Amino acid sequence: MVLSAIAFFSSVLYCTTVLAAPNQISYGLKPNDRFFATSDGKPFFWQADTAWLLYQNLNLTEAKTYIDDRATKGFTVILTAALFQEGLKTPNRQGDLPFINQDFSKPNEPYWQHVDTVIEYAWQKQVRIALVPAWGNLIHTNDNLPGPVNQSNAFDFGQWIGKRYPGLPKMLVGDTNPYWMNKTAVKANYALGGAYPAQKVTDFSDVYEAQAAGLVSGEGKGAMITIHCTNQWFEGGPLALASSFFGHRSWLTFDTSQSGHSDFPPNPPIPWWNARRGYEPVEIMYKVHQKRPILDNEPHYEGRYNNAKQGNAYWNASNVRIGSYQAVFSGASGVTYGSDNVWQMYIPGLSEPTGSGPTRSWAEDISLPGSSQIQYVKKVILDRKSYFTRVPAQEIIIGDNGSGEEHVTATIDGAGGFILVFTPISVPFTISTTSLRSRRPKASWYNPLNGEYMVFALDGSLKSTETFTPPTAPDHSDWVLVLEG
Ligand X SMILES: *[C@@H]1O[C@H](CO)[C@@H](O)[C@H](O)[C@H]1NC(C)=O
Q: Give residues in contact with ligand X (CB under 6 A).
A: 59-62, 143-145, 150-152, 182, 184-185, 188, 283, 313, 316, 318-319, 394, 400-401
When the beta carbons of 86 and 143 are compared against ligand X, the nearer one is 143
When the beta carbons of 386 and 430 are compared against ligand X, the nearer one is 430
- Cα separation, 334 vs 74, in Å, equals 12
Give min distance, CB of 102 to ligand X, in A. Answer: 9
Give min distance, CB of 65 to ligand X, in A. Answer: 9
When the beta carbons of 244 and 318 are compared against ligand X, the nearer one is 318
Please report the sign of the dihedral spanned by the C-alpha atoms of residue 260, residue 266, residue 268, residue 270.
positive
When the beta carbons of 59 and 465 are compared against ligand X, the nearer one is 59
Give min distance, CB of 202 to ligand X, in A. Answer: 10
Give min distance, CB of 384 to ligand X, in A. Answer: 22
- Cα separation, 437 vs 400, in Å, equals 25
When the beta carbons of 271 and 404 are compared against ligand X, the nearer one is 404
Give min distance, CB of 392 to ligand X, in A. Answer: 9
When the beta carbons of 11 and 394 are compared against ligand X, the nearer one is 394
Give min distance, CB of 142 to ligand X, in A. Answer: 8
When the beta carbons of 76 and 262 are compared against ligand X, the nearer one is 262
SS3 letters for the chain?
CHHHHHHHHHHHHHHHHHHCCCHHHCCECCCCCCCCECCCCCECCEEEEECCCHHHHCCHHHHHHHHHHHHHCCCCEEEEECCCHHHHCCCCCCCCCCEHHHCCCCECHHHHHHHHHHHHHHHHCCCEEEEECCCHHHCECCCCCECCCCCCCHHHHHHHHHHHCCCCCEEEEEEECCEECCHHHHHHHHHHHCCCCCCCCEECHHHHHHHHHHHHHHHCCCCCEEEEECCCCCCCCCCCEHHHHHCCCCCECCEEECCCCCCCCCCCCCCCCCHHHCHHHHHHHHHHCCCCCEEECCCCCECCEHHHCECECECCHHHHHHHHHHHHHCCCCEEEECEHHHHCCCCECCECCCCCCCCCCHHHHCCCHHHHHCHHHHHHHHCCCCCCCEEECHHHEECCCCCHHHCCEEEEECCCCEEEEEECCCCCEEEECCCCCCCCCEEEEEECCCCEEEEECCCCCCCCEEEECCCCCCCCCCEEEEEEC
Give min distance, CB of 121 to ligand X, in A. Answer: 13
When the beta carbons of 117 and 217 are compared against ligand X, the nearer one is 117
Whether the CB-CB separation of 79 and 336 falls below 8 Å is answered with yes
Phi/psi-derived region of residue 169, left when phi > 0, alpha when psi is between -120 and 50, beta in every other case: beta
- C-alpha distances (whole Å) from 281 to each of 173, 177, 218 are 18, 16, 32
Give min distance, CB of 82 to ligand X, in A. Answer: 19
- Cα separation, 69 vs 62, in Å, equals 11
Residue of minimal Cβ distance to ligand X: 185
When the beta carbons of 13 and 145 are compared against ligand X, the nearer one is 145
Give min distance, CB of 470 to ligand X, in A. Answer: 17
- Cα separation, 323 vs 279, in Å, equals 7
When the beta carbons of 393 and 483 are compared against ligand X, the nearer one is 393
When the beta carbons of 147 and 414 are compared against ligand X, the nearer one is 147
Give min distance, CB of 432 to ligand X, in A. Answer: 12
When the beta carbons of 197 and 271 are compared against ligand X, the nearer one is 197
Give min distance, CB of 434 to ligand X, in A. Answer: 17
Give min distance, CB of 289 to ligand X, in A. Answer: 18
